[in-house]
Structure 1
Amino acid sequence: MKQECPAKSSVTYNSILLPISDKSKTAAQKAARNKAIYYITTRIMLPLSGRPPDMRKYVVSCLLLLLGSCICRAQIPWHDSTVDFTSIEWNNYSTSYIGEGKDSVPLLVTAIPYNGIYSAPAELAGATALNMSFSGSLYNFRSNLGDRNQVLYACDSSAVYFIAPGVFASNAALYEYRVTENGSRVIKPWAAITQFTDSAFQLNTFRRRCAFLGGFSTGTGNYITVELRRRRDQSIQCAAAVYWVAVQPVLKDIYTAAELNDLLMHVKTNARFAAAAPRDKWTKLYKPAGLDSVTGLPKKLVLPSKEHDLYFFLTADIYKKEALEYRLLRNNKIAANWQPNAYDNGLIWLKDLDPGSYVLQMRYRMQRQHVTAYVFEITPAWYQTMWFKVAAVLLVISFLGSIALLVTLRRQRLALMEEQAKKEKQALGLRAIRAQLNPHFIFNALSSIQGLINKQDMDGANRYLSDFGMLVRHSLTESDTAYIPLQKEIATLDTYLRLEQLRFNFAWSIDCENAPDTSAVELPSLLLQPLVENAVKHGVSGMGEQGRIQVRFSRQGKDLLVLIQDNGAGFDTAVSGTGYGLKLTHDRIRLLNEMTEGTIITMQVQSAPAQGTIIRLLFKNWLA
């Protein structure tokens, strides 16, 4: 199995380790490395000698990312320390050690998991020295580095493995090791070395089958120390402390689609200037109070509506997209739930963003409990604002309402026209019926006059002609009037009955004792006269003085009742007659009921042979 080579030697400045490889590099790589070391020493480290320690650590840590290609890494997957060495795959761990790399001197090689991130996140660059001098400590020093001791950092609960080149099965009895937690609690007391790498494992130029001390882990905020000592004089040969720290993503810069050139330059130079300060663009757009004091980025980024795509760069050197996860909230609702990043680097690309208030939440898979949130907003265009949407909705509603109103008005107009046409048709029908009634009345009147003349009753004929003229005049006057007062209708009936009495000599009466105000109530004109004519002609015309006709008007609540009764011969109502009076009156009542709303006219005919006839007319809701 081919392995990367761990560093052989190191250069130390202010307790910061710069591992360097000498034997696994080409001549060109060595030349580039030496040039970089010379530049760091003469141009950066020396000018920084008067600067505060934190600044020196920060700058050198940034340069560690620049020289990342010079750090050789051996890799081991996460496994429990009880796993046999031969079953371990070396593919996810970075190794570090301090020393000359000679087999004659025992060393401790520490293998820490990558977890998809090559370089340590930026927040580890300023980590303080590990304090191991507190009361009750098994140690008495405070430093990140020593000649034979190193302090490293891990970011999750995966086990960290320890290998001891220089210790083999032949000399393992001379050494022992122990493991402690937080410098005070012994996890594994001093023990003999019993495990070794196999012959297939090659670590740099070290001899094979070196000592394997196992893997250990602890929780965030704690550290584990592994010590290797010589049993004869109990002198510490080397030690390594690994501190499990909380870590979360840190943004380095943000780009928009309009800044593609800057974005491409960033991607191209990311390996060389990974920890460079944010662009001065933000200081021109935002006041100092609006910028984050750590990242230099806006505390809340506000962009116009045309910016649909955003690119977020992180400080960590990520090589495996599953190592970074993010979630996007829009207007306090989940727009995209937690998901692995789409790219094998520290770039998060948000596409096709709609206007709204956003929160980008980021976390490393190895520490999902630590989340970094960044707030930004894409302002809507004028046509995307709430007031415009409300106005547009109101306009659409008004437009649709206008259309609906026009359609309703058109339908109402058509319905009104249809109703008017129907009424006109009904009115024409009524006129036609009344036109048939008038000849019917005139024919009956002329027949009566002829009868008087045949009897040589010239005085009676003259009086009849005079009253008949009045009736004809009244008929012509009211021919275009649909309704006439009840008072006029009674007067017309009275005149007609007096005329017919001259001819047939019957008795008659009109009773209005319980009737409403006859001048205020109106009835359809000529509705009662054909019924009275039938009572005379078919009822009492042949009975002389024995004949009786009675017309009665009475009020029944809101209804008007009219009874027309005679004691004539009667008829069988089941047999259709040949007369037109009743038929025309039925047709007229049907049309009147169709033309009016709320008022109904009903007519009942009660008759039998030799029992007379009673016609009952009920005007419902006529007296409001």
Structure 2
Amino acid sequence: MIDWRPVSKAVVSVGVDYKMKNRSDGLYYASLDKLKATKYHNVIGTTSLNDKKFFLSDSVVRLNIQFKKTSFNYKAELIKKSKDKPEKFELGNYDKSFYIYKEFWKVPGEYELLLTPKLTLPGGTPVHYLSNKSNSYKFTVLPEKEEIKLFSKKQLIIYALIICAVLGTILGVAVIYIKKKEAKKLAQQSKEKQIAQLQLNSVRSQLNPHFLFNALAGIQNLMNKNEIDHANRYLNKFARLTRNVLDSKELISLTEEKTLLDDYLQMEQLRFGFQYKLNANTDLDTENIEIPSMLLQPFLENAVKHGIAEKGASGNIEIDFKKQSSDLILSIRDNGKGFDTAKDYNGLGLTLSKNRISLLNTIYKDTPFILDIQSGINGTVVTITLTQWL
């Protein structure tokens, strides 16, 4: 007796079981039904609604074939097409689902899955295969998909060399431009410094006669008062001062400046009889710290001549050299009658000294000199701060 039930062609769903990259939690399923140009983790793809195609990859494990509503057994055969003789693999009989492992289709090419219904006698003995009811599914296995590269290795090397050459050229031009600009800036600064130095020398050349004329006037004053002994002592101090004043050194040590100021104050003390103090903080290396020569001299002359000359023995002058952080602070304090600091005076000493400090700031831009004059009825304080000098 033959099974009389009507036999239909097998209808199956075809998918791929694969391992997801960088995951170790089993297999993942991707259906190839109704898919077109779909990609799963860069492994699977289809390019046709009729024939199924996918890319061979290490992550692809097997084809997953599932029957749709059937009560018959089907013989499964896999045919690998070739130019010569096609290869056929007997896969067995199935009625639900089965797998075709990668070993059967690991070579890229065209394949055909043939499913033929099988009729059986009671007891399960095979009787007949209905070839006219066979159904076939064609699919193509493509070589493993490679990442799309915009450029070859050789092209990348060439482009990298070109980019390096262009960047190198740009960098070279930039460096040359910066160097030229810096050289021009340095030349300009040097020129400005030379001009300032010439102007400074001019101011100093005016200050020297100013000091000498004042000193000679002092000697004349003592001679007129017939104070011969004081005049001789004045002349001795004046001789040493004159040698230092006419010296062309721009910078002298604090020790040398202190000696010059002391000689000058001793000279003027012979004339006016005032008291004075010269103080230098012990944390100052007076032998090695240098300042512009005769920086305080004109301000000291002004304190004597216009501040305490008329006070006699009650006149007092105090000079201090102090260190404050990295600044050097020089100050002259007198108890004279004071003056209006906002008013312009005819005397050359103070004007020339202010001009000199202005010119010094042109030369020593990184360590500016700050002049501050405070004056009132109780006296005058002149402070010169040499910032970042120490």
Structure 1 residue aligned with 2:148, among 325, 329, 333? 333
Q: Is the 8 A contact 2:281 2:323 kept in 1?
A: no
1:470 matches 2:231: no
Instruction: Give the partner amino acid of 1:614.
Output: V
Instruction: Give the partner amino acid of 1:332.
Output: E
TM-score (normalised: structure 2): 0.60
Q: Is the 8 A contact 2:241 2:260 kept in 1?
A: yes
Match of 1:570 in 2: 338
Q: Is the 8 A contact 2:118 2:130 kept in 1?
A: no
How far apart are residue 560 of structure 1 and its match? 3.2
Q: Deviations over 1:474-497 (max 9, x none)?
A: 1122x2x22100111111111112
Equivalent runs, 1:193-342 vs 2, <5 Å: 225=132, 244-246=136-138, 248=140, 332-333=147-148
SS in 2 for 1:509: strand
Mapped partners of 1:224, 1:594: distance in 2: 109
How far apart are residue 393 of structure 1 and its match? 4.0
Instruction: Please identify which structure carries the higher helix content.
Output: 2
Mapped partners of 1:502, 1:453: distance in 2: 12
Mapped partners of 1:568, 1:128: distance in 2: 124
Aligned CA distance change for structure 1 residues 183 and 525 (closer, same or farther; 3 Å): same
Q: Is the 8 A contact 1:223 1:243 kept in 2?
A: no
Match of 2:220 in 1: 450
Match of 1:582 in 2: 350
How far apart are residue 125 of structure 1 and its match? 8.8
> Over aligned residue pairs, what C-alpha RMSD do you find?
4.0
Match of 2:46 in 1: none
Aligned CA distance change for structure 1 residues 546 and 407 (closer, same or farther; 3 Å): same
Aligned CA distance change for structure 1 residues 462 and 569 (closer, same or farther; 3 Å): same
How far apart are residue 428 of structure 1 and its match? 2.3
Mapped partners of 2:147, 2:365: distance in 1: 60
Structure 2 residue aligned with 1:422, among 179, 192, 196? 192
Equivalent runs, 1:152-167 vs 2, <5 Å: none
Mapped partners of 2:149, 2:370: distance in 1: 73
1:531 matches 2:346: no
1:550 matches 2:318: yes
Q: Is the 8 A contact 1:573 1:608 kept in 2?
A: no
Mapped partners of 2:188, 2:317: distance in 1: 43
Match of 1:403 in 2: 173
Structure 1 residue aligned with 2:264, among 490, 496, 515? 496
Q: Is the 8 A contact 1:515 1:553 kept in 2?
A: no
How far apart are residue 519 of structure 1 and its match? 1.0
Based on CA coordinates, which of the two structures has the bigger radius of gyration? 1
Q: Is the 8 A contact 1:562 1:618 kept in 2?
A: yes
1:616 matches 2:386: no
Instruction: Give the partner amino acid of 1:617.
Output: I
Q: Deviations over 1:379-430 (max 9, x none)?
A: x5xxx362x4444444444433333322222222122212222222332232
Aligned CA distance change for structure 1 residues 334 and 605 (closer, same or farther; 3 Å): closer
Structure 2 residue aligned with 1:522, among 279, 283, 290? 290
How far apart are residue 601 of structure 1 and its match? 3.2
Mapped partners of 1:607, 1:423: distance in 2: 33
Q: Is the 8 A contact 2:116 2:134 kept in 1?
A: no
How far apart are residue 526 of structure 1 and its match? 1.0
Mapped partners of 2:243, 2:314: distance in 1: 32
Match of 1:440 in 2: 210
Aligned CA distance change for structure 1 residues 507 and 125 (closer, same or farther; 3 Å): closer
How far apart are residue 540 of structure 1 and its match? 1.7
Aligned CA distance change for structure 1 residues 498 and 400 (closer, same or farther; 3 Å): same
Match of 2:13 in 1: none
Match of 1:508 in 2: 276
Q: Is the 8 A contact 2:275 2:314 kept in 1?
A: yes
Mapped partners of 1:504, 1:355: distance in 2: 97
Instruction: Give the partner amino acid of 2:260.
Output: T
Equivalent runs, 1:52-71 vs 2, <5 Å: none
* Matched pairs, number: 283
TM-score (normalised: structure 1): 0.39
Q: Which runs of 5+ in 2 are unaligned?
A: 1-80, 94-111, 120-128
How far apart are residue 511 of structure 1 and its match? 2.7
How far apart are residue 569 of structure 1 and its match? 1.7
Q: Is the 8 A contact 1:559 1:618 kept in 2?
A: yes
SS in 1 for 2:181: helix
Q: Is the 8 A contact 1:514 1:553 kept in 2?
A: no
Mapped partners of 1:395, 1:127: distance in 2: 57
Aligned CA distance change for structure 1 residues 593 and 242 (closer, same or farther; 3 Å): same
Mapped partners of 2:86, 2:322: distance in 1: 113
Aligned CA distance change for structure 1 residues 572 and 334 (closer, same or farther; 3 Å): closer
Mapped partners of 1:555, 1:490: distance in 2: 15
Q: Which runs of 5+ in 1 are unaligned?
A: 1-121, 135-154, 157-180, 186-221, 226-240, 251-298, 300-328, 336-353, 357-379
SS in 2 for 1:519: coil
Mapped partners of 1:498, 1:433: distance in 2: 26
Aligned CA distance change for structure 1 residues 617 and 223 (closer, same or farther; 3 Å): farther
Structure 2 residue aligned with 1:560, among 315, 320, 328? 328
Mapped partners of 2:131, 2:372: distance in 1: 115
Aligned CA distance change for structure 1 residues 548 and 249 (closer, same or farther; 3 Å): closer
Mapped partners of 2:337, 2:325: distance in 1: 33
SS in 2 for 1:405: helix
How far apart are residue 461 of structure 1 and its match? 3.8
Q: Is the 8 A contact 1:570 1:607 kept in 2?
A: yes
